[in-house]
Structure formats: structure tokens, C-alpha cells
Amino acid sequence: MTVSPERGSEKGPEREVDIVTSAVFAWCAERRIGLRTQAGVSAASAAIALFERGYRTPDALFHALHGLSGTETAHYG
């Protein structure tokens, strides 16, 4: 997976959005899933929930999304 480099000193909502979107973009690209499809929206919702549970880097979120089954991902959409 290739994600954007982290900007260590940046904090706040913009940084959080960058982390989540980076992971979701990579996850969807790997699966050739459109971001605006139900699967893409479900992945974004799952990534937000995972971020809130402590997955705070793009890599951690990406790998956590990999660990979810299709049924679990759909639960978030």
C-alpha cells in the first residue's frame, strides 16, 4: 500500500481527514471500487469508526479495513 507521507507537526481535523481519506483511497483503489459506490461509502464509514477506536495512521487503518469481511464493512454503510 502506498499512502501519503505523514506530516508530523500537523494536528486537528484536517490531519484526521487526511489519515482517513488516505486509507480509504488506497483500500478502494486496490479493489477497484469507486469511492461513491455503496462499498466505498461503507469503507469510509468503517474507517471513521476504526479511527475513533484508535487506528491513527493511514497504514493502521488500511490494514484494519483489510481485516473486515464484506459483511462487516457493509454494516457501516
CA separation for the pair 35, 56 (Å, rounded): 21
Residue 1's pLDDT band (boundaries 50, 70, 90)? low
- So what's the pLDDT on residue 63? 96
pLDDT digits (tens, 9 = 90+) for 8-67: 446 788 899 999 999 999 999 999 999 999 999 999 999 999 999 999 999 999 999 998
> Would residue 50 count as lying in a domain?
yes
Q: What is the rounded end-to-end Cα distance, in angstroms, of the chain?
A: 23
Residue 70 or residue 26, greater confidence: 26
Residue 70 has pLDDT above 80, yes or no: no
> Would residue 55 count as lying in a domain?
yes
Residue 7 has pLDDT above 50, yes or no: no
Q: How many domains does the chain have?
A: 1
Counts for the chain of helices (H) and strands (E), in that order: 4, 0
> Would residue 41 count as lying in a domain?
yes
Q: Which domain holds residue 34?
A: 13-76
pTM of the model: 0.78
- So what's the pLDDT on residue 4? 47
